[in-house]
Structure 1
Amino acid sequence: MKKISFLTVLAVMLSLNLKAQNPKAEVENAVTYLINALISGKQADLEFIASDSLSYGHSSGKIESKAQFVNSLVTNQSDFVSIDISKQHITIDGNTAIVRHQLYAKTNDRGNPGEVTLGIMLVFSKQANGEWKLLARQAYKV
């Protein structure tokens, strides 16, 4: 019985260690979470993924704080109907991750249907609890 318990504990520890050694997958999961939060517009999800220090830059040059970013999506000033990303590249340096990708989205901002293609740079910061939070986002026209 002790061997089974020891082996079980060892297996769990190894799996946790492997998860901790794959920050790229963790960042990919954070990007997916962000995209789903952008589409859903759920306040709790947006607040969860965004750092309190968020700087959210639009391709127009408009910069939003965390509160402004969340409010814009919750009130449908910005409304993503669908988002597709391509050409994603992730660079990780310690507790900071830079994500670049191209974004194609169908939108319905303030009830006006539209489409947008943008280049995006995201900066995520790994928190003490292991969660990756969006620290900065900058969009640019392509």
Structure 2
Amino acid sequence: MRKGIITFVICCFIVNSTFAQSKDQKIIAEIVSTFNNAIIATDSLVLDRLAHNDLSYCHSSGLIQNKAAFIHGVIVGPNFFKSFQLSDETVRITGKDAIVRHIATAQAVNNGKAVEIKFGNLMIWQKNKGQWKLIARQGYKL
């Protein structure tokens, strides 16, 4: 009987740790949503707050931008995002870094023309002084 209880407790712990998101994982998922909403709203203040000063933002086209160029591009275009739908999102915390992967399907306007874009994302968030900042992002074509 005792072995059965111990086995049950161990199984519950394994299942719980496998399926439960940590507090930081939930926070990161919320920050990714806030970040995407700031892109949609062309909110440079939120983007500035969430982006690390040493940001390396790589688009699926191969374009690489620093923080200032990325925020400028969101504000002036030529691409303006109207919505993001994320799927297959994973968040892994490793020390003071968070690795986020997902597939994004976005509705956008590119040079005045409505388009749907589907791409993969790898985002690296870094925690510094209690705040998560995006330090690197790599988009890739599917």
Instruction: Answer whether TM exceeds 0.5 for this pair.
Output: yes
1:41 maps to a residue whose letter is T
TM-score (norm 2): 0.81
TM-score (norm 1): 0.81
Question: Which residue of structure 2 lines up, in the alignment, with residue 122 of structure 1?
Answer: 123
Question: How many equivalent pairs are there?
Answer: 121
- Percent identity at matched positions? 34
Question: Which residue of structure 1 lines up, in the alignment, with residue 66 of structure 2?
Answer: 65
**Deviation digits for residues 61-90 of structure 1, max 9, x if unmatched?**
110000000000111322101110000001
**Deviation digits for residues 22-42 of structure 1, max 9, x if unmatched?**
111111121111111111111
In the TM superposition, residue 112 of structure 1 has moved relative to its aligned partner by: 2.2
User: Unaligned regions of 5+ residues in structure 2, if any?
Assistant: 1-21
Runs of 4+ that moved beyond 6 A: none
Distance 1:111 1:70 in 2: 19
Distance 1:76 1:124 in 2: 24
- Within the alignment, does 1:41 sit opposite 2:42 as a pair? yes
- What's the RMSD between the two structures over aligned residues? 1.1
Distance 2:77 2:61 in 1: 18
**Deviation digits for residues 66-123 of structure 1, max 9, x if unmatched?**
0000000111322101110000001110110000000000111232211100010000
Question: Which residue of structure 2 lines up, in the alignment, with residue 24 of structure 1?
Answer: 25
Which deviates further from its counterpart, 118-127 or 24-33?
Answer: 24-33
Distance 1:26 1:127 in 2: 14
Distance 1:140 1:76 in 2: 19
User: Unaligned regions of 5+ residues in structure 1, if any?
Assistant: 1-20
